Chains A and B, each alone.
Chain A
Amino acid sequence: MKRHHSLAAAFALSGLLCCFGTAVSAQEADAPPRQHWSFWGPFGIYDQGQLQRGFKIYREVCSNCHSIKLLSFRNLADPGGPGFTEAQAAAIAASFQVTDGPNDEGQMFQRPGKLSDTFPPPFPNDQTARTALGGKLPPDMSTLAKARSYEWGFPQFIIDAFTMYQEDGPDYIHAILNGYTDPPADFVLPPGGQYNKYFPGHAIGMPKPLSDGQVEYTDGTPTTVDQYGRDVAAFLMWAAEPTLNARKRLGFQVMIFLIVFTGLLYFTKKRVWHAVLHDPDLDKPRVA
């Protein structure tokens, strides 16, 4: 969960730092295996089908304990998202009960959700959640995919700047969901903890949430924990970064513009300086 990228160390390519580079800090947890993500890279965008499957997992499994307070029902129909129609999103909203009020009588009341509502949390407050779940508070999932990472160390973090690796959050989430194994013989598991080889410290409070075949898919996608992990991690990445598709599209346009514009500036610069650099007569001053 700790990682720090230092651009300064990017200059460490000078090689003068080899002695520090080899001393990688002790990692408690295993490195999450890197998955292939549709939203990686300069043209990578979300896979609508995957986001819909991930949403199904969130709704049927995660949302029993985890809130996702910053996500609104209307977001489900936003461009660059899971691609539900507005009617579908409204139907999903209506299937949730949200607390509203106070009404004219001064009472709070329950009503079906609307597009403008945010997803109601599973527990009315954090204390209720802790009491119900053995003292541990499940983190809110709104920004979870950007709030988790893994410290890859030198020199991998420099390579990642060039290969545009930004997916350590989804990789971590996928890894956690697939990381439930039997603890090593010498590992003392604290009470209420589960062993997870990718969790820092290995003792995670969350019981294994997914097993094969638990969530039904209608599009023929394999119903394995591996696949569930990828789908729900992709959904959470979208929840954390809903404008990624727009960012990639605009980014490409800006890059094309900047490269062409800078190229033209380069040739303009060459032309302007040509006379100065190739002037046989340096005596002529060029100051106005």
Chain B
Amino acid sequence: MKWLERRLPIASLVNSSFVAYPTPRNLNYWWTFGAILTFMLGVQIVTGVVLAMHYTPHVDFAFNSVESIMRDVNYGWLLRYIHANGASFFFVAAYIHIARGMYYGSYKEPREVLWILGVILFMLMVATGFMGYVLPWGQMSFWAATVITNLFSAIPVVGGSIVTWLWGGFAVGNPTLNRFYSLHYLLPFVIVGVVMLHIWALHVAGQNNPTGVEPKTEKDMVAFTPYATIKDVFFTGVFSILFAWFIFYIPNYLGHSDNYVPANPGQTPTHIVPEWYYLPFYAILRAIPSKLLGVTALAASIIVLAFMPWLDTSPVRSANYRPLYRQFLFIFFAAVIGLGYLGSQEPTGGYVIAARILTIYYFAFFFVILPLLGLFEKTKPLPNSISESVLQKGVPVGASAPPAGVHD
């Protein structure tokens, strides 16, 4: 061990990062979703690598090779249902993780780079998930690929050429499927790399906490292991129960039945919808009558997240001490969910108007509400320290508690 330590101090790196690493003592369960996301990334990579051993990326064989995985490969149905539902649950965890960051102001100084890396991770997830959805080559795969790649044609002058370049031909076809397969295999490992940077940045800046007050002394902290570790593992277990419910009992609930029909370029489905996790952005795209502006709004709706650290002018981090921000933020969450629902519906009549109102709120939240609130909002007094906030909550302080002495 000493021999290795002198040449490559990996053991002490793990120890300082995941064992002795000090973590705020007041973290709640919303802070366990980072660990859950890491778990989901592992699940997706392991199941995905095995699925790739049985999958054939060719327009004539892709659908049947997926069905062969479902029918003939030992536990192939399990691998595929884990992977397909795993994508959804990856996004569930990511959305909760992002919402937690927005609520507790985790994007603010000194965590801007950490936050931007997170936005990059989200964009990589969107790209990976989309290309993975194309691989089974069902009707929805094919038509989703057609609709989404066609968005690039909105770019002036070079749009048409870009789409042809993306397709590798003049329509979505075999070259498209092959390159999506290649990238779907590559991008998860890019995600792994960015996750490492994300964790590195986290460990430089330190974790935020529900009070948003920076830790002042050692008594504000507990060691990562066992305190954060056991909490993360426990809640990953809770999350897995929900995940297993979908895998074993309603494995096709989150999918679309049209994707069990083989891709047919000659027949357009009555209603093309993306996977549920893209629906809010899809609604924003459709809310705007101009294609170019719609695509711009779609891209902006994600990119704007990266600018949150500078759009938010308030010095206070946690929404617990920002009553107005808290209300506007909950309306924002409701607006995103509302956009998600509208994205799944036919874009007619009142739905378009509702989608436009919610889209306006979505952007107004970032460009109007966030900058102004910091100037006008009257915030609640902050606790002096994390340990003070813990004591104020009236946690029973029993004299019979076992002697402290938990040292790693």
Q: Which residues of A contact B (CB under 8 A)?
A: 1-9, 11-12, 14, 16-17, 19-20, 23, 25, 41-42, 70, 75, 139, 142-143, 146-149, 154, 160-161, 164-166, 168-169, 200, 240-243, 246-248, 250-252, 254-255, 258-259, 261-262, 265-266, 268-269, 272-288
Interface string of B19-51 (1 = CB under 8 A from A): 110100100000000000000000000000000
The answer to whether A17 touches B337, judged by C-beta atoms less than 8 angstroms apart, is: yes
Q: CB-nearest residue of chain B relative to A267?
A: B234
**A6-B276, A285-B218 known; A17+B22 contact, CB < 8 A:** no
A-B contact pairs, 13 of them (CB 8 A): A8-B95, A9-B341, A17-B334, A75-B71, A166-B252, A243-B77, A247-B77, A247-B248, A251-B249, A274-B401, A275-B401, A276-B25, A282-B387
**A284-B404, A286-B25 known; A258+B345 contact, CB < 8 A:** no
The answer to whether B408 touches A288, judged by C-beta atoms less than 8 angstroms apart, is: yes
Contacts of B105 in A (CB 8 A): none
Rounded to whole angstroms, the CA-CA distance of A9 and B343 in the bound complex is 11
The answer to whether A6 touches B279, judged by C-beta atoms less than 8 angstroms apart, is: yes
The answer to whether B257 touches A146, judged by C-beta atoms less than 8 angstroms apart, is: yes
Interface string of B336-363 (1 = CB under 8 A from A): 1110111111100011001000000000
Given contacts A250-B78, A278-B397, 20 further A-B contacts (CB under 8 A): A1-B257, A4-B344, A9-B344, A41-B249, A147-B260, A247-B78, A251-B248, A255-B245, A262-B241, A269-B230, A275-B402, A277-B395, A278-B398, A279-B401, A280-B397, A280-B398, A280-B401, A282-B390, A286-B222, A287-B223
Rounded to whole angstroms, the CA-CA distance of A6 and B237 in the bound complex is 23
Interface string of B306-348 (1 = CB under 8 A from A): 0000000000000000000000000100101110111111100
Total A-B pairs, Cβ < 8 A: 211
The answer to whether A250 touches B237, judged by C-beta atoms less than 8 angstroms apart, is: no
**A248-B248, A283-B219 known; A70+B230 contact, CB < 8 A:** no
Q: CB-nearest residue of chain B relative to A166?
A: B250
- Indicate whether B88 reaches chain A with its CB closer than 8 angstroms: yes
Contacts of B244 in A (CB 8 A): 251, 254-255, 258
Rounded to whole angstroms, the CA-CA distance of A233 and B101 in the bound complex is 48
- Indicate whether B193 reaches chain A with its CB closer than 8 angstroms: no
Contacts of A284 in B (CB 8 A): 219, 404
The answer to whether A278 touches B401, judged by C-beta atoms less than 8 angstroms apart, is: yes
- Indicate whether B280 reaches chain A with its CB closer than 8 angstroms: yes
The answer to whether B401 touches A20, judged by C-beta atoms less than 8 angstroms apart, is: no
Smallest Cβ distance from B302 to chain A, in angstroms?
16
- Indicate whether B258 reaches chain A with its CB closer than 8 angstroms: yes
Contacts of B153 in A (CB 8 A): none
The answer to whether A258 touches B70, judged by C-beta atoms less than 8 angstroms apart, is: no
Rounded to whole angstroms, the CA-CA distance of A173 and B280 in the bound complex is 32
Rounded to whole angstroms, the CA-CA distance of A9 and B78 in the bound complex is 26
Q: Report B365-408 residues with CB < 8 Å from chain A CB.
A: 387, 390-391, 395-399, 401-402, 404, 406-408
Contacts of A243 in B (CB 8 A): 70-71, 77
The answer to whether B337 touches A147, judged by C-beta atoms less than 8 angstroms apart, is: no
The answer to whether A282 touches B234, judged by C-beta atoms less than 8 angstroms apart, is: no
The answer to whether A240 touches B260, judged by C-beta atoms less than 8 angstroms apart, is: yes
- Indicate whether B265 reaches chain A with its CB closer than 8 angstroms: no
Contacts of B331 in A (CB 8 A): 16
- Choose one: B64, B78, B227, B343; the contact of A276 (CB below 8 Å): B227
Contacts of B237 in A (CB 8 A): 258, 261-262, 265
The answer to whether B20 touches A164, judged by C-beta atoms less than 8 angstroms apart, is: no
Rounded to whole angstroms, the CA-CA distance of A12 and B88 in the bound complex is 17
Contacts of B253 in A (CB 8 A): 5, 160-161, 166
The answer to whether A149 touches B257, judged by C-beta atoms less than 8 angstroms apart, is: yes
**A164-B249, A243-B77, A272-B226 known; A143+B238 contact, CB < 8 A:** no
- Indicate whether B277 reaches chain A with its CB closer than 8 angstroms: yes
The answer to whether A287 touches B261, judged by C-beta atoms less than 8 angstroms apart, is: no
Smallest Cβ distance from A80 to chain B, in angstroms?
11
